Amino acid sequence: MKRRTFIGTSAAASVGLVACKTASAQEKKQDMGFKLKNNINHSVCHWCFKDIPLEDFLKTLNELGVTAVDLMGPEEWPLLKKYNIHSAMCNGAEIGLTKGWNNPEYHETLIKNYTDIIPKVAEAGYTNLICFSGNRDGMDDKTGLQNCVTGLKQIMPLAEKHGVVLQMELFNQINHPDYMCDTSAWGIEICKALGSENFKLLYDIYHMQIQEGDIIRSIQDNHQYFGHYHTAGVPGRHEIDESQELYYPAIMKAILATGYKGYVAQEFIPAREGKLDSLKQGFLICDV
């Protein structure tokens, strides 16, 4: 009986020891936490997580080892520098999404705004500055394209002087009805007309999947015109996991294969609880 008791006790102790070791391994795994290969330079748009104060969000990025955030203006840059977070896509010179370079009515204001902020972007150590075509408002695409070129030509020498890259974002017509720069082909024509390495397209994968599809081929064929990338799941602009139709690991591999060295920013709106878990998952999915 004593031996049987001993065996039973030993067995229980062994089970307990194994359980402790398993728990310790799990805890160690959790402590090791989130690890990125960083073949992709990761960024994220804070507006998608706007219920998290920016400073808290930047602390989280520090913890994750993510070094950049998108769509930050001069008022946020001091806080970014406090946490050593790069502004991968700056904003602050645009009038809005619907009032842009395709309408000469806004050129005076836009030229003033961009002339003011371009040197500030460079002085802060940043490179990319967003811009928008604006809505059609009855204007044909050819006229709008020429208007964009005419206006942008007036600030391109300044952008080139300071090493700042203006990036016009591509949108779809479902979320942004009447927006003019709604196809990569139209945006590429502006790039060709300006003929400057300081003007590129912000290729939003979510928007272009909805608007024209064929994402990987577009990247392969036209990557020289794409200066920045945004992600989100289709449909719904939510998590980029298996719940949606795009397979982001293949897209990221296609981007890497072009020799791209810029940033890819998560711009999905979390639909589930545990928003930061969704963000971590997004980074890992793209971390090919």
Please identify which of the residues 76, 94, 189, 267 carries the catalytic annotation: 267
- Residue among 225, 244, 242, 226 nearest 234 (CA): 244
**Which DSSP helix (H) or strand (E) runs through 72?**
strand 68-72
Question: Does the annotation mark 267 as catalytic?
Answer: yes
Q: Helix 184-194 vs helix 215-222: angle between axes, to the nearest 10 degrees? A: 10
CB 170, CB 204: distance < 8 Å: yes
Contacts of 157 (CB under 8 A, 6+ apart): none
Sign of CA dihedral 171, 173, 175, 176: positive
**Buried-exposed string 58-84: b where 16+ CB fall within 10 A, e elsewhere:** bebbeebebbbbbbbbbebbeebeebe
What does the alpha-carbon distance between residue 46 and residue 44 come to, in Å, rounded to a whole number?
Answer: 6
Residue 63 is a catalytic residue: no
* Cα dist from 199 to 129, 216, 227, whole Å: 10, 22, 8
Distance of CA 63 to the CA centre of its chain: 19
Which of the following is catalytic: 76, 169, 189, 239?
Answer: 169
C-alpha to C-alpha distance for 279 and 87, rounded to whole angstroms: 18
Catalytic residues: 169, 267
